[in-house]
Amino acid sequence: MQKKVIERKKSRAQKKQAFEIAEQDFQRKFGDYLQQKKLKQELRGPTRRALDAVERWERKYLRATQRHSRAQRVARNEWQRQRNRLVRENLERYKNEQPVIDSERQLAGKVVDEEVMGALERTGYMTPQHMTLIDTLLTMPGPTVEKEYQRRIAAINAIITFCDVEEGSPTKRPKMTQKRRERPHFPLQLRLFALKLNISGRRFVSFALGILVYQIISESKAFTPLDPSVVTLLTFTSCHIRKICRSNAASAGKT
């Protein structure tokens, strides 16, 4: 593939050189090539034939350039395909052969060098998680497949314990739900009494309603003088009293 690119490159260089020579010869005899090319329809005789010859060499040079670019593109794509295939083969070979190589090195005692061994040497200043990590990583391979799986799982758990990092995608955090504000509690007796007063439209209800509110607050142990529910209850009572008095005054004015 690369040989074809080199051949196309040489052919393009030859066509380019021939075109430049023909163009220079035309300019020396008949003037500027581009200017004469614009006036081609008006040219006659030797000038027209010389211009046609230069244009033929120009077309050959352009075709050679296109063939060279096409060969470069094909070679580049083929190189990329070969590279991807080699990477896949290396990954597959590593996947199949590396566990065997690691087991052989571990059995031969060459899994770590002296510098790493000194760093992994147990000391009194290490945490229990660090000691467990060293012991599980330097354990000899198991005699069976099940034992080897158990050894690897123990090593993974030791790494998770030491690094405090779990495998897998991060879990979603639970959404924090805001507590709803409790609605003010109005005693049922007060609401029923206010409804009766509103329906009957009696006058001088403020005195009776005030006595009822005082009795409910004094008898109920759930209310205290500083309780917000008491303030809400009194506000509701005063608004209800003003509403009833306003409606009674309006009805008295009409009569």
pLDDT, tens only, 165-178: 444 555 666 666 66
> pLDDT class for 188, splitting at 50, 70, 90?
low
219-225 long-range contacts (CB < 8 A, ≥24 apart) are 220/187, 222/185
**CA–CA separation, 158 and 227 (whole Å):** 56
> pLDDT class for 56, splitting at 50, 70, 90?
confident
Q: Which residues contact 255 (CB under 8 A, 6 or more apart)?
A: none
Percent of the chain with pLDDT over 70: 54
pLDDT single digits (tens) 211-229: 555 555 555 544 444 455 5
Q: What is the pTM of this model?
A: 0.36
Q: Which of 59, 144, 70 lies closest to 103, judged by CA?
A: 144
- Give the mean model confidence (pLDDT) for residues 168-190: 57
8 Å CB contact between 76 and 2 = no
> pLDDT class for 201, splitting at 50, 70, 90?
very low
Q: How far is CA 255 from CA 66, 139, 151, 202, 252, in A?
A: 108, 104, 99, 15, 5
Supply 121's token pair. 């040497």
Domain chopping of the chain, boundaries: 89-164
Q: Evaluate the CA torsion angle 78, 82, 84, 88 in order and state its sign.
A: positive
Q: What is the largest CA-CA distance in the chain?
A: 129
Neighbours of 56 (CB within 10 A): 13
